[in-house]
Structure 1
Amino acid sequence: MPTLRICRDAGEVSQAEGIALVTDANLLGAADWDILVEATGSPSDGYAMARAALSSGRHVAMVSKEVDSVAGLHLARLAAERDVVYTTADGDQPANLIGLVTWAETLGLDIVAVGKSTEYDLVFDPATGIATQLDTTVAAPALADLLTLGDDVRSTLRARAEAVADLPGGPAADYCEMAVVATNTGFQPDVERLHYPVARIAELADVYALQQDGGVLGRPGSVDVFTALRLPGEASFAGGVFVVVRTGDAESWRTLAGKGHVVSRDGRYAAIYLPYHLMGVETPMTLLSAVLHGRPSGGTAPRGCAALAGRAKRHLPAGTVLSMGGHHHEIEGVRAVLLREQDTPPDVAPFYLAAHARLRRPVEAGELIVVDDLEGHDADLLAAWNEGRS
């Protein structure tokens, strides 16, 4: 087992063998190491540590999506200037999806939609009429008659959503992850609150078809999130990722459908998916790729194409502190939205810049929060946001 040593100053860090534990991030630079795995979830602290690592010629694997959604473009540019790697981390859904998209594009597949499932499946027991998602349970007897899509896909999806309307939905973490995916793939949200269909795995190719073909998509090239619906004892989607492609070659996809692959009922679309994300178990692959081969996960070049922003859920008076907390890093009173680049106001505040800031003016329900609404925010983080999008 590696030894653990608590280090209180730079001298102790530089002499440590095995694993050095420090309480001050400023001590990190005193040791020799190759890559920072940034996983604090703190927008300000995570950005400062990543910037310091890149500036000193070290690679960065960014697990903190909150940081990436604000400063990712700037940090990627800084990495390129220093000839080091800035990358998402395998095992997290964004990196896994970016890798799947890159794979599909390399094969020349015509991708219509990319996305992931919510972290936890929606498990429905027809015997009891009870639907469970993680530790939340609701009565949803109407789902018993909605286990197949029927002829009108969108009507069925609306009815399913109504049946489980009492379940919490759309955590900010999902929007944050899809912002990172958009930046690294060029895919954009179809709608700013995403579609969030409640769908079974075998239905994905029908659900993520274009509207003229009966699906939910208003345009191709979309990024989205779905809630995986399953029965007790059925295999889980396990927070996995997917791409939906146009089939094109009908004969090939008829053969693949015969082998159990997910093809739409009209044969025009197919879903390809990875039903897992193993979190830190997979991350060493990213470290090896960055340090040994100088490549980010997925091998993509980040670019601005979507923005994670926030709309007020209710009237927020001047002086309100936008506190952040909880596993999914929600901001109290603010709803996360994912905006297409062309729909993003130039003065919009990135969602996690607003975390812990104070409102200098009242913001009405439904309004986007803009930079001038905030005071007490991190000036360095704002500068990174502006530089990355310039």
Structure 2
Amino acid sequence: MNYDILFRDLGDRRFRVALAGAKGSFSRTLLAQIRAIPRLTVAALCDLDAEGVLQLLRELGFPADAARLCDDPASVASAARDGRIAVVRDHALLAALPLDIVVEATGQPEIGARIAVDAITRGVHVAMVTKETDSVVGPHLNALAKKHGVVYTTADGDQPSNLIGLVTWARLLGFDVVAAGKSSEYDFVFDHATGQVTCTDRACTAPRIAGLWELGVDVPASLAARAEALAALPQRTTPDYCEMNVVANSTGLLPSSDILSNPVCRITELADIFVPREDGGILDRIGVVDVFNCLRRPEEVSFGGGVFVIIRCHDDVVWELLRGKGHVVSRNGRYACVFLPYHLMGLETPLTLLSAVGHGRASGSDTQRVHAVMVARADRDFVAGEMLHMGGHHHVMTDTTAMLLPAGEARGLAPFYLAANKRLVADVKRGDILPESAIDLTGSLLQSLRNEYGAGVQA
């Protein structure tokens, strides 16, 4: 794809962008890149830490007078007239500005929905980075956007949108997509000299991995042995379920299993693992989303939080030719893995903004349906009146475990991020999945959207 040609028709048009959750890491990557794109103008930045946003702009080299802290509609309008970025704490003040698109990156499910609804209903496009919101009501917000003639889309650079792009690329070319997925956030790096495996800031000594470096004939057994050898390291993370929920709703692919597979494996092994069991792999069904933990040596290239698809090989000669060029083809020659080994976050998001505002097209999916539901299993007994607290870098709901179910198996169950930060109105026993009836949903915008648009977006 030649991107110069793709966006040439936009000419010298400039588009006004607002960013909610402006102090976060994703937002920093977007702000670092957006200054290099003349067609995009940052009109407003919203975050509770407004002073931190001003400091961020200074760190990124914005001029000292580029932004102005605003606390009412009049000051916001004044900043706009003076060509300054309006920095606000209250997202409601974004309505005081003429905007073309809002990038929602607060990470807060209910707030993300509110910001999106407010933008859409006043005719402003939305690029949704808050996967917590999208996993619950992405299809519903998509329906609302269609009603108002604007675009609602995931954001390029983030893994869900990248994987949606790769899946649709494969389908357009006529490939049979067996599985699609991503690597988890951090690699498992094995040092053969010391026997130590490091995953971000955690490490364990696992000399057995040296003897398990090759996948072996019995793939499930090899993967089980690796998982056992690395039991001291976390092999499942909550955001992976959320992101695969978004991809499932955007592509129609279903979760491979309730807890996904999460094998610890090398890039070269993917086409032998994410294939049906009858062909030596781990899948009980095809047409699925899944996640793996990338295993590599320190000197080997990372998967970079990237995404992949597993496709069927229909011509032996073609795929043996491609194997010879270094492509990842299964040992039996029946499957191949095509992957994008990077995850550049906001550095790529300007493509989404230009597509939405300039062409009226989503860079993610514009036909979302509820194909899967991320739910929460109680890790202890809960009693009525308790608050289901959500926090931390990974937005984990305390004392629960995430699962991803096909929509048909999730009827009556509470979506994970619908339940987050809500109070229980009934007891929930350890091991049970949180039912919707046990959650106090009074005043929940997420629930209002589900009630209003639910029937129209069910798969």
Q: Do the structures match in fold with TM over 0.5? A: yes
Secondary structure at the counterpart of residue 155 of structure 1: helix
Change (3 A) 1:190 1:387: farther
CA RMSD in angstroms comes to 1.1
Are positions 1:177 and 2:243 aligned together? yes
Q: Distance in 1 between matches of 2:88 and 2:387?
A: 30
Are positions 1:319 and 2:382 aligned together? no
The answer to whether the Cα contact below 8 Å between 1:39 and 1:46 also exists between their aligned partners in 2 is yes
Secondary structure at the counterpart of residue 363 of structure 1: coil
Are positions 1:208 and 2:240 aligned together? no
Give the structure 1 partner of residue 94 of structure 2.
28
The answer to whether the Cα contact below 8 Å between 2:382 and 2:428 also exists between their aligned partners in 1 is yes
The answer to whether the Cα contact below 8 Å between 1:189 and 1:222 also exists between their aligned partners in 2 is yes
Alignment of 1:50-129 (within 5 A): 50-129=116-195
Are positions 1:160 and 2:223 aligned together? no
Alignment of 1:252-267 (within 5 A): 252-267=318-333
Q: Distance in 1 between matches of 2:167 and 2:202?
A: 32
CA deviation after TM superposition for structure 1 residue 354, in Å: 1.1
Change (3 A) 1:378 1:150: farther
Change (3 A) 1:188 1:388: farther
Q: Distance in 1 between matches of 2:195 and 2:452?
A: 52
Overall identity of the aligned pairs, in %: 53
Q: Distance in 1 between matches of 2:115 and 2:136?
A: 14
Secondary structure at the counterpart of residue 182 of structure 2: strand
Q: Distance in 2 between matches of 1:278 and 1:46?
A: 22
CA deviation after TM superposition for structure 1 residue 179, in Å: 0.3
User: Relative contact order (C-alpha < 8 Å, sep 6+): which is higher?
Assistant: 1
Q: Distance in 2 between matches of 1:97 and 1:48?
A: 26
Q: Distance in 1 between matches of 2:443 and 2:169?
A: 37
Q: Distance in 2 between matches of 1:257 and 1:378?
A: 56
Q: Distance in 1 between matches of 2:317 and 2:452?
A: 49
The answer to whether the Cα contact below 8 Å between 2:171 and 2:177 also exists between their aligned partners in 1 is yes
Secondary structure at the counterpart of residue 360 of structure 1: coil
Give the structure 2 partner of residue 362 of structure 1.
427
Q: Distance in 2 between matches of 1:93 and 1:376?
A: 30
Question: CA offsets, 1:349-386, max 9 Å, x none?
Answer: 11011111122222112111111111266422112123
Question: CA offsets, 1:126-155, max 9 Å, x none?
Answer: 111111000000111111100111110010
The answer to whether the Cα contact below 8 Å between 1:312 and 1:366 also exists between their aligned partners in 2 is yes
Give the structure 2 partner of residue 371 of structure 1.
436
Structure 1 residue identity aligned to 2:452: E
Are positions 1:386 and 2:430 aligned together? no
Query: Paired residues, what number?
Result: 389
CA deviation after TM superposition for structure 1 residue 73, in Å: 1.2
CA deviation after TM superposition for structure 1 residue 171, in Å: 1.4
Are positions 1:13 and 2:76 aligned together? yes
Change (3 A) 1:165 1:72: same
Secondary structure at the counterpart of residue 372 of structure 1: helix
Structure 2 residue identity aligned to 1:98: I
Are positions 1:302 and 2:372 aligned together? no
The answer to whether the Cα contact below 8 Å between 1:312 and 1:364 also exists between their aligned partners in 2 is yes
Q: Distance in 1 between matches of 2:195 and 2:394?
A: 28
> What 5-or-longer segments of structure 2 have no aligned partner?
1-61
Change (3 A) 1:377 1:190: farther
**Which of residues 220, 226, 238 is equivalent to 2:292?**
226
Q: Distance in 2 between matches of 1:74 and 1:376?
A: 17
Q: Distance in 2 between matches of 1:237 and 1:348?
A: 34
CA deviation after TM superposition for structure 1 residue 172, in Å: 1.2
CA deviation after TM superposition for structure 1 residue 300, in Å: 4.3
Q: Distance in 2 between matches of 1:377 and 1:265?
A: 54
TM-score by length of 2: 0.83
Structure 1 residue identity aligned to 2:423: R
Question: CA offsets, 1:10-67, max 9 Å, x none?
Answer: 1111121231101111110111110000000011111001000000000000000001
Give the structure 1 partner of residue 402 of structure 2.
336
The answer to whether the Cα contact below 8 Å between 2:250 and 2:365 also exists between their aligned partners in 1 is no
> What 5-or-longer segments of structure 1 have no aligned partner?
none
The answer to whether the Cα contact below 8 Å between 1:175 and 1:338 also exists between their aligned partners in 2 is yes
Worse-matched range after superposition: 358-367 or 244-253: 358-367
